[in-house]
Structure 1
Amino acid sequence: MRFGIAAKSVLPIAALVAFSLAMAGVYLDRQQRVALVAQTVALLEAEVALLSPEMGTAVLEGDTWARRAAARVRSRVTVIASEGRVLADSEESSEQMENHAGRPEVAQALASGSGHSLRFSRTVNRDLLYFAQSLPQPDGGRLILRLAVPVRELAHGFSRFRRDFLVGAGISLALTAGLAYLWARRITLPLRRMLEFARAVARGELGHRLPVCSRDELGDLADALNTMTTSLQETLRRLQAEGRRVRTIMEGMAEGLLVIDAPGRISLVNQAAEGLLGIKREAALDLTPLEAVRSHELEELLKAAAKGAETASAEIALPYPRRRILAGTAVAIRDAGGAYQGTVLALRDITQLKRLEEARMEFVVNVSHELRTPLTAIRGYAETLLEDGLEDRGEARKFLEIILRHSERLGRLLNDLLDLSNIELEKAPLSIRAVAVTDATRQAVAMLAPQAERKAIRLATEIPDALPPVQADRDRLVQILVNLIDNAVKYTPEGGSVSIRAARPPSGSAAVSEPQHVEITVEDTGIGIPAKDLPRITERFYRVDKARSRELGGTGLGLAIVKHLVQAHRGALSIESEAGKGTRVRISLPADTTRISSP
């Protein structure tokens, strides 16, 4: 059973009061007994004085007088001679009674004139209170008149006193306990309020405050609790603000962030990590990293961080939901004693960096290969000429023409590389102005007409007179058209055709997002491009048929230059082709809106 502070406070008070009342009862009982005995002795002494004039009759009549006297005073009456012989008794035959000189009250009376004692009487077999007094007689002798009353009459007085005392003590104890309980309740009321206050604070209800109703220790405690709660509220407010800042930073991070707790389960995932790992935050929480991501590389990285004292790093390849390469850095969290508490994992998407690195390496390989081929040819023919080719002028001329052709190819390759680099790095700023598509097309066609005539390829143009000019750099636009027409002529068999058309796209066209553009289309009847090669056809040095491309004198950079130039003009490029049926290349450039009229 659980007792409150009030009840616990009452119990010792009640016990103390009960003990005090018990001690007082014992003392008062003793005092009452003494008082009753003294009172009875005084009464018996008065009765002795009443009977003392009849001592002569008592000696003459003996037991008869004693019984008559006992009826008057309602006590046992005994007359004893000075030597102890019983002369008369109201309850027993005096002749049969033994000598009473040794009785305590008789001895006291003989010695000092009176005496009393409370003892058991063997004569009548009960407890009696005796009072004896020595009475002088006319003949000079002395008689002892003794009166006795039963102790039960005294006990009756004692019982009444005890009953009254116990009733009073019980009432006093009850009142004391009740008052003590009420006082304790009043004292503990602030404690109960503090308890409810503490429970409210534990529930997070920090807006409550305790009333300070006194200047004592409880008041000081209430004031201290209020101060503590205010401080806690302020600390919690700061922590919440800090938590919001941390969450904002975490959610705004480009890097993915995972926190793994000591048991090895995910306790925190930021938004970037969701995208990088292809997981949902709600589903991943409380899972192990292997359950959430199913990457053994990630699992091994976390194990390495948990076992070691330093940062662990590794590259993680994820095939799902799409192939990614992540750079992971894991740091173990340890307490002051070095015990493992968890791991923080930062993830960064390096897929594009890897692709760029691969592209760079591929570019270096391609450039090296493209340079090696003509250089090898030039060196070979030059060595041949040096050895014995100069004697035959016809053969020497042939070798020199080959050397010249390869050197021209090297020049074109280097020029294209420099041109592409300048375009990408924006080192060649564009001179944007209104350019007539008709003029630029005519110039490009004129430059490639001899090449087309050699293969009997028909070059056709279809450009409306009302077509608005485009916002472009004229030289770069001509370069774009030259590269496209050059590719079309190269990969179109003899007797084919290449058409150049320009028009404003219809509203809602998939090629552009706005009608304020001009579409220029170069279409041929050439060999076409296989569907598998279309996504990469604008990459540097990418060729569908490398041997044929080199045979035709291509550098593999023409379409890459076109793509970057179109993008620099805020335009769009699309290529449609089918192997064996020809290719259609469409570019879209911003029109000069100041000269656009409603169609």
Structure 2
Amino acid sequence: MKAKKLIWQLYPSYLLVIFIALILLVIYSSSAFKTFYLAQTSNDLRARTLLMETQVTPYFKSREFLKLRALISEQGQKTSTRFTMVDLKGEVLVDSDERPEKMDNHAQRPEIVQALSGNWGMATRYSRTLRTRMLYVAKAIQLDNQIVGVMRSSIPINDLDETLNGLMKKTILWGVLISIFSAMVGFFVSRKISQPIQEFAMGADEISTGNFEFQLPVPNTQEFKQLADAFNNMSFQIKDRIQTVLDHVSEKETILSTMIEGVITVDVDGAITTMNQSAKTYFCIESDDVKGRSVGEVVRNTAIQTMIHQALASNELVQEDIALLHPQKLILHGHGMALKNAKQECVGALIVLHDITRIKRLEKMRQNFVANVSHELKTPITLIKGFLETLFRSDFEDKNETEEFLTIIQDHTIRLESIIDDLLSLSKIEQEQENKWIETERDCMNEVIERAIVLCQKKAHQKALNIKFESESGKKVMAKMNVSLMEQAVINLLDNAIKYSSDNAQIDVLLAQSSGENIVSVRDQGCGISQEHIPHLFERFYRVDAARSRELGGTGLGLAIVKHIAESHSGRVSVTSEENKGSQFSIYIPMTHHKEEKNV
């Protein structure tokens, strides 16, 4: 049903009140005027009756009805009044307008009955004799304190009806005029009342659309003025509170979007209410329209769904590790707890997911590292201990055997020392890398490589290997670096190439520049490496052939040291290899400064 405007609810009511008041006024005024007119006329008739009573009593007493009739006829004409005399039986004795013998018995007429009872009698009715409405007033005639008859006076009241009708018409006319004027005033008043309310409605619409700067005009009416002031004040408060809410929402969204932890909130039905970007990244969700959708529809992981159901059903913290295998391999540690309102009723659940993949990987690496270090240290220590026990039990008579044992002990001691030195070097490099501080200076990379080659020449000559160094630009390349660490990295690559190269082979060392990087490459012609081992070559203690590596004196840490030295210079390492053809290891160091070149 269509709602009506306030003015069309107020205005018809106002008109109805005026109409009812006018009708009541007309009815009351006509009734009051009629009553007043009858009262005045009846009083006048009483006075006339009293005057006539004094005149007709002598004639009535002497029974001179002819003279009596002549008297009342004469007085009736003079006063325009009809006089009638009736005896105790109701018979008409004399009438000023009609012959008595033609008139009915008046014993039952109301005014006659009242007069015979000793009171003034009055009545209004239609006279069949005169064929008009009459007002009658009657009074008893007494002789010697005894009622002997009734003197009745009457006048036509048709004039009264005509007067009342004229008055009614004038009253209605003035009532219509007053109603029209009142309607106009009422419409104006209704508009004045409804106009501020319409403005309030417009103001409410403006606020509902977000226009909190809108201000209602303040009317002159005190009540509306108070309402307008309260409305304007309310709009300011709503603006401040909404701004506060928006700030809180923006702050919440910023916090959630910048958190590395994944955050998911759901309602009691399991529909998502919040999911930050980290959570979407974990589950590879590209759609932004996840709010209101069920967790099972968005996240295809039964462990998450089970955790949410446990959180909704429990009042305690729920913790669980969740392994994701597709589309990416991740290990997440989840915390879940029910969300409650002020009445401590469960309204949803909060799930916080921590990516512990790296922690788990580091933990596994630590375990492997400890196991590898223990194994690598235990092997030489066990050998040293065994040969020492053998020497202690011998008589030292066989000098050659004793020297052989001591040589073995010395070799394993040197190997043990090498492992410890490499561990210390690796630890130092990692510490400097973690602190993001490493002492660097500008130096010539050509010279660093040449010094490393010189230090490795002795081992190379033992296998008749030729180490060839070439600078792609044919010029000296200056770079900002830690000279000792860079030299150690090149030595480790050369040492690795020497170990796995065949006799009389060649090792190529190339210094090049490309895409803002200085590249040092060491290429050998050895046995090469299977592709399955390449991703793990730079891990600590990783060996393609562990037995051969130990036989050649390797510690399993050389390439790991090379990788960390490159990373400490904000660089990287790479390897390409082909079985039975050789391998190439490269170090990429960014050019942090413009290179300085000199002719070789």
TM-score (norm 2): 0.80
Bigger CA drift: 246-255 or 33-42? 33-42
Q: CA deviation at 1:465?
A: 10
CA separation of 1:560/1:124 partners in 2, compared to 1, >3 Å: closer, same or farther? same
1:104 corresponds to which residue?
Answer: 111
**AA at the equivalent of 1:117:** A
Q: CA deviation at 1:278?
A: 1.8
Bigger CA drift: 559-568 or 308-317? 308-317
1:596 corresponds to which residue?
Answer: 597
Write the distance in 2 (CA, Å) between the matches of 1:168 and 1:31.
17
1:508 corresponds to which residue?
Answer: none
**Alignment of 1:94 onto 2:101:** yes
Q: Which of 481, 485, 506 is the matching residue for 1:498?
A: 506
Q: Deviations over 1:503-524 (max 9, x none)?
A: 444xxxxxx4227x3x443222
Alignment of structure 1 residues 450-469 onto 2, 5 Å: 450-462=458-470, 466-469=474-477
Q: Contact 1:256 / 1:347 at 8 angstroms: preserved in 2?
A: yes
**AA at the equivalent of 2:241:** T
**AA at the equivalent of 1:489:** I
Alignment of structure 1 residues 577-592 onto 2, 5 Å: 577-588=577-588
Q: Deviations over 1:536-584 (max 9, x none)?
A: 2111111111122122221111111222223334554332210111112
Question: When the two structures are aligned, how many residues end up with a matched partner?
Answer: 582
Bigger CA drift: 168-177 or 73-82? 73-82
CA separation of 1:19/1:276 partners in 2, compared to 1, >3 Å: closer, same or farther? same
Q: Contact 2:473 / 2:512 at 8 angstroms: preserved in 1?
A: no
Q: Which of 202, 205, 212 is the matching residue for 2:218?
A: 212
CA separation of 1:468/1:593 partners in 2, compared to 1, >3 Å: closer, same or farther? farther
**Alignment of 1:489 onto 2:489:** no
CA separation of 1:156/1:255 partners in 2, compared to 1, >3 Å: closer, same or farther? same
Q: Deviations over 1:57-105 (max 9, x none)?
A: 9955999999999999998775546875434566676178547598734
2:574 corresponds to which residue?
Answer: 574
**AA at the equivalent of 2:493:** L
**AA at the equivalent of 2:496:** N
Write the distance in 1 (CA, Å) between the matches of 2:360 and 2:560.
20
**Alignment of 1:514 onto 2:516:** yes
Write the distance in 2 (CA, Å) between the matches of 1:166 and 1:422.
116
Q: Deviations over 1:206-251 (max 9, x none)?
A: 1111222326222122112212222222333333334333333333
Q: Secondary structure at the match of 1:251?
A: helix
Q: Which of 8, 16, 26 is the matching residue for 2:28?
A: 26
Q: Secondary structure at the match of 1:532?
A: coil
Q: Deviations over 1:448-492 (max 9, x none)?
A: 445444444444445689530544555444433332222222212
Q: Secondary structure at the match of 1:575?
A: strand
**Alignment of 1:117 onto 2:123:** yes
**Alignment of 1:548 onto 2:556:** no
Structure 2 residues without counterparts, runs of 5 or longer: none
Q: Contact 2:14 / 2:186 at 8 angstroms: preserved in 1?
A: no
Q: Contact 2:465 / 2:507 at 8 angstroms: preserved in 1?
A: no
Q: CA deviation at 1:426?
A: 2.5
Write the distance in 2 (CA, Å) between the matches of 1:12 and 1:372.
110
Q: Contact 1:435 / 1:474 at 8 angstroms: preserved in 2?
A: no
Q: CA deviation at 1:366?
A: 0.9
Bigger CA drift: 143-152 or 210-219? 143-152
CA separation of 1:183/1:448 partners in 2, compared to 1, >3 Å: closer, same or farther? closer
Q: Deviations over 1:282-325 (max 9, x none)?
A: 23222223322222222233333333334433333222332122
Write the distance in 2 (CA, Å) between the matches of 1:590 and 1:119.
132
Q: CA deviation at 1:436?
A: 6.2
Write the distance in 1 (CA, Å) between the matches of 2:586 and 2:464.
24
Q: CA deviation at 1:176?
A: 3.9
Write the distance in 1 (CA, Å) between the matches of 2:121 and 2:115.
5
CA separation of 1:167/1:246 partners in 2, compared to 1, >3 Å: closer, same or farther? same
Q: Contact 1:467 / 1:503 at 8 angstroms: preserved in 2?
A: no
Q: Contact 1:109 / 1:144 at 8 angstroms: preserved in 2?
A: yes
Write the distance in 2 (CA, Å) between the matches of 1:205 and 1:575.
64
1:234 corresponds to which residue?
Answer: 240
**Cα RMSD for the two superposed structures:** 4.6
Alignment of structure 1 residues 295-306 onto 2, 5 Å: 295-306=301-312
Q: Contact 1:521 / 1:584 at 8 angstroms: preserved in 2?
A: yes
